[in-house]
Amino acid sequence: MSDQPRVENEPNNLLGIIAILTAMAAFICNDSIVKLNSERLPISEIMFLRGLFSTAILLAWVVVARGFEAFKHCKDPVVIYRSLLDFVGSFCFLSALYNMPIANATAILQSMPLLMTVFAFLFLRAPVGWRRWLAVAIGFIGVLLIVQPTVDGFNPASGWALAAVVLVTARDLITRNARPHTPSVLITAAAAFSVTVGGAILGWAENWETWVEPTQSEWIAVVAAALCLVVAYHLVVVAMRIGEIAAIAPFRYTIILWSLLSGFLFWGDVPNALALFGMTLVIAMGIYTFYRERKVTAA
């Protein structure tokens, strides 16, 4: 199987939408499994064990799709820096996920397109009009409504989620500079490997976390989480290849709906009215920013 885009006469938006909907559900399945096992298994151990299985799957995929020759691209600085950002970003998001409702953590992470606009302006000198600046401002107001800081300051868990947004946005911005012939599946495999190694280092660090022996059900859960993660990444790629981005991208925000459902079913979490309004603002401004950028690019 090659990971190069297929050329088709007509895009299949219906299949693309189904793929992206399934991918978002798979992402939340992974997050839910991790959170359900967070009471016993420390962050570093889950990062290591889940990464071990996902890395094995992705490395096998690289070999089948591109052969051993593909590993020469690991020397690409973008692959290295992106992998490091992925590791730290994953740690921050899992730290948030361990300590706050899954819907809130997921919704904060969906402010990435807004921060991407800011980063593109600051570091790439990309032109940003007043409409997109307004969308960014309103979107960040939505994030504040989700976080709901008190007079005593930010909830530490919200701080981890916000840090994850910055790191993951920087990761995606760096990805744009990857060499044209670097396989996308190799980039994903390298990131999974860095998370695995990072989890091992954190686990072995003195006075950091004490690992525990996983039960049989926890082993099954870790493998299931790894499979969900790989399937989700693959379906996102599939969706973007078989459909039009303009038609598919807005459906990425269904991940918030999946997270709301998961939070209610497993933990009885129901965000308050302010948080729900904030989520609505983040979704609306993210979709508007995407369409505005497409319009400006086309012009």
Kindly report, residue by residue over 39-86, the tens digit of the pLDDT.
899 999 999 999 999 999 999 999 998 899 889 889 889 999 999 999
pLDDT of residue 8: 46
> How many whole angstroms separate alpha carbon 97 and alpha carbon 106?
8
pLDDT of residue 180: 80
**CA 255 from chain center: how many Å?**
11
Domain contains 38: yes
The pair of three-digit structure tokens given for residue 229, joined into one six-digit string? 């993660």
Domain contains 5: no
Domain contains 157: yes
Domain contains 4: no
Based on the structure, what is the number of domains in the chain?
1
C-beta separation of 33 from 225 below 8 A: yes
Domain contains 235: yes
Domain contains 7: no
Q: Which residues span the domain enclosing 265?
A: 13-298
- The model carries a pTM of 0.89
pLDDT of residue 153: 55
pLDDT of residue 206: 58
pLDDT of residue 7: 43
pLDDT of residue 152: 57
**CA 224 from chain center: how many Å?**
17
pLDDT of residue 151: 55
Q: Is 214 helix (H, G, I), strand (E, B) or coil?
A: coil
Write out residues in the chain with pLDDT < 50, as ranges.
1-2, 4-9
> How many whole angstroms separate alpha carbon 165 and alpha carbon 89?
8
Domain contains 22: yes
Domain contains 252: yes
pLDDT of residue 5: 46
